[in-house]
Amino acid sequence: MKSLPDINSLSLQELVAQMVTIRASGYLYDHQIQYPQWESPNRSLLTLLGEYGVGGVILVGGSAPEIYLRSQQLQAWAKFPLLIAADIEEGVGQRFKGATWFPPPMALQSVSPDYAEAMGKITAIEAAAIGINWLFAPVADVNNNPANPVINIRAFGETTGEVMGATRAFILGTKPYPVLTTVKHFPGHGDTAVDSHLHTPVIPHDRDRFNQVELPPFAHAIAAGVDAVMTAHISAPALDSDNLATLSPHILTGILRHELKFEGLVVTDALIMAGVANRYTPEQVAVQAVKAGADILLMPIDPVLTIDTVCKAVESGEIPRDRILASVERIWKAKARVCQAPTGLASVAQSEHLAIAEAIATHSIRFHVPNPSGFESASLKDKDELVNLILVDDPLACEEFLHPRSPAVALPHQYGCQRLVLDGHALSHLHIEKLPNVFLQIFSRGNPFRGSAEMHGQTQSLIQTLVSKQKLKAIAVYGSPYNLDRLLPLLPANVPWAFAYSQQPAAQEAILQKLGLAKKN
């Protein structure tokens, strides 16, 4: 690993470039890039990292072994040691195949928040093993709005106390390992019904409400030693009536730095997000975010333009040079602690790691099975009587948890169930009257860019029709508990149902066991 030179030896361009983190594909080759609008090809990465001296990279895509190689490749290309980040709120396996993938954080409230420390520990171990030294986790938002489309089950809970305890435990679990932790999204993104990837949410609450609900998890995370705080692209008029949180000196410097006494890194949420990008030019965003107190500009639309713009603002006197030096000193301090060679793949997906993830997934399941004989009942022994109807948010984006070998597909198939996979939009073309009995499985959760936390409206109409025709024999819901809450009033008492926060195979198999479609281990 390269050594860190004296900050005073860096040019202004190099100093400012250290404050920029760009996105890159986790895959090694350009033809594997999945998001070309955000992920630069390797030749451009060489220029940004090696010539400009960009200070950080956030990776998406690939497997754990690939990231082990990719992280070392990027560090070799870089002029200075890199912060290599990933959005791994649910463990390293959430983004990189082969590593441990935990259920969504909200599942811990149905099992035990004590698992949060183990979750932080395992995530840190596996991240360090493959060269990731910066976790964009944990989420410190309080998801007290069931309609929240983007935080949702990414939060540890719906109350301030739940979130404070689990957030602190996650951070403490990471402490022995060379990774940075990040709480997000300051000053709180939990009580919105708008996704800041698509629009700008407004939180209308007064300062007293922020003090009671939104801010305490961040304050406790700071007390626990969190390394970074990520901003939210939200409007909070009671805190700053003129600026979004990401661009607000009062919120980032006044509240976060001065009132909460935070001394670590302040990183913006991705600057390509419409919540900020649709309201300002890239030049305005770059300068205002730095003036507000941001140390790191995450995923600017144009990294080179951003560097040049901030340099010009320093040269003109709009931004004091000391302001830039203060940020780079904080970045240098963080890099000195965590920029180390990856520890190796032997630490990834150890059996005890997988066992903890599976325990959370299976023990957080809820179910109602009035007839314990389940699908072995006489009325369903005819293999032609049952359709396995699977509803997903997006049929083209579910291969991580749904494929021909997934328990949700393979186990009903052993009973002769015919498979039918649809999204909500396709339901209007479904001829319900031609369906036999139906086993309905719904995979739906809040996620960035979805725009809504709710299932498609056609889903509830489908269930009502199936119930009225007595064709609905059981239902399984994976993902958002708020979807289950919307469906339960539609279900007769004699219809079995089960719910899992996790959409992964262990949860699928456990649910099918509860419903009688899988043999118990």
* Separation CA 339–CA 84 (nearest Å): 9
Q: How far apart are CA 53 and CA 362, in angstroms?
A: 46
- Reported residue count of the chain is 521
Catalytic residue among 141, 195, 227, 269: 269
Q: Specify the residue for token string 């002029």.
A: 79
Residue 217 burial (10 A CB sphere; 0-12, 13-18, 19+): buried
Does an H or E element contain 267, and which? strand 265-267
Residue 376 C-alpha from the chain's centroid? 39
Which value, in Å, is the radius of gyration of the alpha carbons in the chain?
24
For residue 384, how far is the Cα from the chain centroid? 40
3-state secondary structure 347-409: HCCCHHHHHHHHHHHHHCCEEECCCCCHHHCHHHCCHHHEEEEEEECCCCCCCCCCCCCCHHH
Return d(Cα 23, Cα 470) in angstroms, integer. Answer: 50
Beta bridge partners of 387: 418, 438
- What is the distance between the alpha carbons of residues 496 and 481, in angstroms, rounded to a whole number? 16
How is 136-183 classified by DSSP, letter by letter?
---B------TT-SSSGGGSS-SSHHHHHHHHHHHHHHHTTSS-B-EE
208 noted as active-site residue: no
Q: How far is CA 214 from CA 112, 191, 194, in A?
A: 22, 9, 17
Amino acid at 499: F
Q: Are 413 and 419 in contact (CB under 8 A)?
A: yes
Reply yes or no on whether 363 is catalytic: no
Determine contact, residues 364/358, Cβ cutoff 8 Å. Answer: no
Instruction: Count the neighbouring beta carbons within 10 Å of the beta carbon of residue 36.
Output: 10
* Strand 386-392, strand 418-423: pairing: parallel
In the set 185, 189, 197, 220, the catalytic residue is 197
Active site residues: 197, 269
